[in-house]
Amino acid sequence: MGVLTGKRALITGGASGIGRATALLFAREGAAVAVADVDQAHGEAVVREIIENGGRAIFIRCDVTQAADCERAVAQTVGTLGGLDVLSNNAGIIRRAAVPETSEADWERVMAVNVKSVFLLSKYAVPAMVQAGGGAIINTASGWGLVGGRKAAAYCASKGAVVLLTKAMALDHGEQNIRVNCICPGDTDTGMLRNEAQQLGEPYERFLVESAQRPLKRIGRPEEIAQAALYLASEASSFVTGTALVVDGGGLAG
């Protein structure tokens, strides 16, 4: 019996990186998982892996910036899995640029994927969780949602918004037995980190060395961030809401 046995979870950005690791871990811990992503091929591959290992999962193609897609993702999760207990708002992108070099289109895209998606999925998930008697919402923010970072203005602004949206929702929905928390990862070995190096024109190996300058002297693994999500989804965190959990190898410690 896993710690999420009997739970139904919807994970956005579930086709790769932290989302993929979270989907696989939740399934191993007994949850039925809906993997939502625009990347159908990789999303379906995650679902196959879960099913081949004895779990239950479905894939939902979802553009998290579109209200109709988000509403459908929640409805399909409830209809197919029988309800919704856990929402992991994990989809995200980054654009590395200071304000003068950030185009209006890039600003709007980052805000749509990183912030609007949390609003939309939560808007439709909360009523489903109320019907189920409660639930847990886990938003993926960032260490750069708590402190600023160079050449990442739109990203920092978006993740700061996620942190405070998390706290506001925790206040609004505590009486409905819905806990809302966010994770603030440090640099993690994902495709997005490689994309950052490309955007900055830096060799990836050198970028990794710079990213590892923290007390634990390395970057994180997606599976380590997924363990934090598991904690926030499980009864182990039953008295935790409104929290921004930093998982960054000590990067923000001093």
The set of catalytic residues is 155
Let me know: does 170 contact 241? Beta carbons within 8 Å.
Answer: yes
Element containing residue 161 per DSSP (H, E): helix 153-173
Long-range contact set of residues 97-105: C-beta below 8 Å, sequence gap at least 24: 97/151, 97/152, 97/153, 97/154, 97/199, 98/150, 98/151, 98/153, 99/153, 101/151, 102/153, 102/154
Cα separation, 182 vs 142, whole angstroms: 9
* Tokens at 46, concatenated: 């995650």
**How does DSSP assign 77-139, residue by residue?**
HHHHHS---EEEE---------GGG--HHHHHHHHIIIIIHHHHHHHHHHHHHHHHT-EEEEE
3-state secondary structure of 152: coil
